[in-house]
Amino acid sequence: MTTAKQPVAPRPAREGPMKSGSWVIWVIVGVAFLCCVGIGVVNSRDGGDDVLPPTSQERGDTVPILQHASASQGICYGWVLQDYYGYTELSVGSNLGDGVAVEENPACPRWAQVVARVAYTSESSESNDFARITVETSDDVSATARLRMQSGLERLGLTEDAFVDEPGWAVTRAAVSLPLLAAEAGVVEPAATPAAATADAPPLPDAGSDLWRDRWGYLLAAVGLLLFTALLFAVGFWQRGRQRREEARRQAQAGAGMRDFRVARQAAARDPRRTPEGR
């Protein structure tokens, strides 16, 4: 006799591979994260730490004044602006022209120049921005006269704060003040037209608040990270919901299969055609 086949219980469905859309989402998330980190790194030095040299107009206005004073007093005048940490010459000039130094220049046996070294510290540092201003001269000028010229810069309002706020303007302003200070210190005779060396210059611009100017990069990076975190939460909730729906569907399929299996077994047990040998 033919033995009735026992119904086979269906196997639970295996979880299929991740849908193709999932990896695209994670690629987008990764790119967003790298962009946020890159913005923070690039803008950690966003230009606020750069010492700005004199503008072309400031240099162009300074050289003729120094030329007139040098021709009248018989001494060369110049300026040097440096980055304090790198000792990089950001700007140099004199009565001989923009970019021409007076120190160790054969055309200038007697010379005087203002040297400004400006340092901008990072936001994470506890130190403040500062500047070091000195007046350097040829060997024939006494140390006392150099100190008098150097202290005269502060008297004219060219303090360290002025060099920190506007280094380019301050160094050229100090250079055109050297003829007057040299005459006051007894180094040379007053220039023929001293008013040219003491011409009124535009006031310093309002420095304003450095809070957002120096921190906009960090702020942008923080906002980007917050958006990235929100995106991660959204993606996580979406994937968790999808997983729960998949699990519920698989459990429903498995439950339906088990019910069909039990029904089939009960039907087979009640089949009168079955014999004891087929049980």
The per-residue DSSP string of the chain comes to: -PPPPPPPPPPPPPPPPPPHHHHHHHHHHHHHHHHHHHHHHHGGG-STTSPPPPPHHHHHHHHHHHHHHHHHHS-EEEEEEEETTT--EEEEEETTEET---TT-TT-SSEEEEEEEEE---TT-SSPPEEEEEEEE-TTS-HHHHHHHHHHHHHTT--HHHHHH-HHHHHHHHHHHHHHHHHHTTSSPPPS-HHHHT---PPPPP----TTTTTHHHHHHHHHHHHHHHHHHHHHHHHHHHHHHHHHHHHHHHHHHHHHHHHHHHHHHT-TT--GGG-
Q: Low-confidence residues of the chain, pLDDT below 50?
A: 1-2, 4-5, 8-9, 12-18, 40-47, 194-197, 278-279
Residue 43 confidence (pLDDT): 45
Place of tokens 């001269």: 137
Residue 135: exposure state from Cβ atoms within 10 A (0-12, 13-18, ≥19)? buried
Residue 195 confidence (pLDDT): 47
Residue 46 confidence (pLDDT): 42
Residue 221 confidence (pLDDT): 76
d(CA 12, CA 136): 89
Residue 105 confidence (pLDDT): 93
Residue 205 confidence (pLDDT): 57
